[in-house]
Amino acid sequence: MNFTLKVLGTASALPIIDRYPSAQVLDVRGRLFLIDCGEGVQVQMRRMGISFLKVEAIFISHIHGDHVFGIFGLLSTMAMLGRTGKLEIFAPRAFGPVLKFFMSYFGEGISYEIEHHPLLMKEPEQIFECKNLQVSAFPLNHKIDCFGFLFRETEPQLNVKKLEIAARGLGLAEIATAKRGEDIVREDGSVIPNEAVTYKPYEPRSYAYCSDTAPFPELASWVKGVDLLYHEATYPQEMVDKAALRFHSTAIQAAECAREAGVKKLIIGHYSSKYPDLSLFLNEARTVFPETELTQDRDVIDIPLKKL
């Protein structure tokens, strides 16, 4: 029942010795989802033991090189490894010509289907659903079309209390009714309220990914209450004017979003290559939101199951 984030890259713009460009893999109960695809993503996946062929879908925030330069090599490698299943890519409309170029020059030998789903929304919208997971996308505030993603486990089916089954003599049909969340109506007209015999086994977990963006008022409400928020923090506060000019955020601005949203934990990344020592980012963010951590390349962050 794992819900685990694997961080492949944390750099912005320029890769440096110990930081690759943006890429993450979210592992939801063994199902893998790639978020952004910066240069070197394949090397990092190899280092972390992540299967290329198990990636079910790719989510690209925007078409800046440090978020997408790794896609050509990855798609080609998937073909060489014998991928046959369809690959869905959720990316801005501008990704369409990029994919067309790739297929026209390097598509020979790719026998699996690649489907691009253009992101066009102006407010949060569900874009993907599979067993146990729903994914929504929402616009960010960057120089070009850029989108964030919210991954949330689906609500679990209710469990029926074993003691109540015996005490009330519940039959199979009544148990099935209760698991659907309905009250049990018996032949004599009596009603057993659903909440009297069921319980929710766990609280769905959630992760929000907010890369390149300047602050804007709606964002906190769109990621409200998530268990884990990744928010870019390209600059420390001394560079706040440059951050605004380039439509990025400072560590303090990321923390302010986390505080307003009431998230459980904030992780920051997408650091400017100008700063080899990241302690400044962490110290500044924690003055606003103490539950902040830095992301480092090859971090593994588990969101534990919250049993009720």
**pLDDT one-digit tens code per residue, 34-65:** 999 999 999 999 999 999 999 999 999 999 99
> ∠207-211-216 over CA atoms, to 5°?
95
Residue 248 confidence class, pLDDT cut points 50, 70, 90 = very high
247 is written with which tokens?
Answer: 């439509």
Cα→Cα distances 301→60, 150, 200, 275, 304, Å: 21, 16, 25, 23, 9
Please check the confidence at residue 307 and state whether its pLDDT lies above 80: no
Q: What is the enclosing helix (H) or strand (E) of 78?
A: helix 71-80
Scored b (16 or more CB within 10 A) or e, 269-294 reads bbbbeeeeebeebeebbbebbeebeb
Kindly state the tokens that stand for 306: 């919250």
Q: Which domains does the chain have, with CATH numbers?
A: 3-156+200-307 (3.60.15.10), 159-198 (no CATH)
66 included as an active-site residue: yes
Q: How far apart are CA 98 and CA 245, in angstroms?
A: 27
5 half-sphere exposure, CB direction, 13 A CA radius = 26
Active-site residue (options: 66, 145, 227, 297): 66
Q: What is the mean pLDDT of residues 227-256?
A: 98
